[in-house]
Amino acid sequence: MDKIISILKPTGMTSNDVVGKARKILKIKKIGHTGTLDPDAAGVLPICIGRATKVSELILNKEKSYLCELTLGASTDTYDSSGEILFKAPDDFEYAEDAIRKAFESQMGDIEQYPPKYSALKVNGKRMCDLVRSGREDEIVLKPRKVTIKNLEILSIDNNKVRFYVECSKGTYIRSICYDVGEILGCGGHMSFLLRTSSGKFNLENSITLDELEKFVEEGTVEEHAFDIDYTLDSYPKIVLRDNAVKYYSNGGIIESYRFDEKNYTDKDEYVRVYSHERFIGVGRLIRENGKISVKSDKIFV
């Protein structure tokens, strides 16, 4: 099977736990997820199966959306409720709605964000969370990363509980938003709930649970709930190769545009979906030289 299945990850499981469980259910070794979702978080986690693992990075690059709860009044070392409390606000601290909204406004748009030390980001080949847990925190030098918060909407404020919805670029840590808002307000804050509602084209509606995956495998209907590799690539323009160019292209050859049967790219496009008739065969990179346009294979799926 060379497909993508979007799993609804439950809380308490790591993303790798989900992959391991899916591997056993499907009895397929080549499976990978498309971006870590914290163990305490739930929600959409697309997994790629077989040759679809070649596009996992492309899915990882897509925008994501979340529902989150921020608890003000205490900051933790992990930036979420699983960590140790580092700071606690006085019991009589006033949580002013205007101040909270203003703090959230500072998190909108293109911002520089420091990731939590308890994260899967690597320093010299080691995950930061592993370095901290092994007493090697001094090896970590946190550097800000540019991320984009496309939409940040407060849904409710109930004393020290703030529920919000966020749409963001890859690499965004929602935990860091919670921590930073708490720092701005001077009371501390941590993430107390997180649900990923979408990852690219995958959302709560087209995702299934691990129990459902097992059921569909037993029924022999699992492929009805799986997606073709090119489902996630519709942002790339499409080209169709002539029959006499397909084999050469699949072997790594560069194909000039006069051997395209169909094309709809623009001058700004760099990558395209490549087809033979209606069969998806890969992702190609456009080459522009001497006034001519050609395509070279970037990822092959035949």
Distance (Å) of CA 130 to CA 119, 135, 242, 250, 271: 9, 9, 51, 41, 36
Q: Which of 142, 177, 198 finishes a domain?
A: 198
Residues 133 and 16 in one domain: no
**Could you give phi then psi for residue 85, rounded to 5 degrees?**
-70, 125
Residues 173 and 84 in one domain: yes
Overall number of domains in the chain:
3
- How many residues appear in the chain? 302
Residues 41 and 127 in one domain: no
Q: What's the pLDDT at 170?
A: 87
Residues 141 and 180 in one domain: yes
Q: Which of 209, 231, 253 finishes a domain?
A: 231
5 and 44 Cβ atoms separated by less than 8 Å:
no
151 and 31 Cβ atoms separated by less than 8 Å:
no
CATH number at residue 162: 3.30.2350.10
Q: What's the pLDDT at 227?
A: 94
Residues 158 and 278 in one domain: no
d(CA 276, CA 88): 61
Write out pLDDT tens, residues 38-59. 888 999 999 999 988 888 877 7
Residues 224 and 267 in one domain: no
Low-confidence ranges of the chain (pLDDT < 50): none
d(CA 250, CA 228): 19
Distance (Å) of CA 264 to CA 194, 267, 282: 40, 10, 16
Q: What's the pLDDT at 138?
A: 67
Residues 248 and 272 in one domain: yes
- Host domain of residue 136: 64-198
Determine the 3-state secondary structure of 19 from DSSP.
helix
Residues 13 and 97 in one domain: no
CATH number at residue 243: 2.30.130.10
Write out pLDDT tens, residues 244-266. 999 989 888 899 999 999 888 88
Residues 155 and 187 in one domain: yes
Tokens representing 234?
């519709």
Distance (Å) of CA 60 to CA 56, 197, 243: 6, 15, 32
Q: Clarify whether 38 is annotated catalytic.
A: yes
Residues 119 and 175 in one domain: yes
Considering the candidates 38, 80, 180, 230, report the single residue annotated as catalytic: 38
Rg, the chain, Cα only: 23
Residues 154 and 213 in one domain: no
Residues 156 and 246 in one domain: no
Tokens representing 257?
């545009």
Q: What's the pLDDT at 134?
A: 76
